[in-house]
């Protein structure tokens, strides 16, 4: 078992995800999913902003 450095939860070694923040820290699958969703959200927000500017 490994301890996730982000949330402190235990997870099965090898089942974790690589942090998208620094590409070397191994985090639990839950945090991996959370980071992926955050990135997706940021991407969508940026895209929406870009689209909004296009309409001005």
How many Cα atoms within 13 Å fall on the side-chain side of residue 4?
18
Among 6, 25, 26, 35, binds Zn ion (CB under 5 A): 6
Among 1, 2, 3, 4, binds Zn ion (CB under 5 A): 4
Q: Alpha-carbon distance 45 to 17, whole Å?
A: 24
Stretch that binds Zn ion, among 12-20, 21-29, 37-45, 46-54 (CB under 5 A): 21-29
Stretch that binds Zn ion, among 1-9, 14-22, 35-43, 44-52 (CB under 5 A): 1-9
Q: Which two structure tokens, joined as six digits, stand for 41?
A: 């959200």
């Amino acid at each position: 078992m490994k301890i996730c450095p982000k949330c402190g939860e235990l997870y099965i070694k090898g089942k974790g995800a690589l942090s998208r923040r620094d590409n070397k820290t191994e985090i639990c699958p839950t945090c991996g999913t959370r980071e992926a969703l955050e990135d997706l959200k940021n991407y969508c927000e940026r895209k929406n902003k870009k689209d909004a500017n296009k309409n001005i």
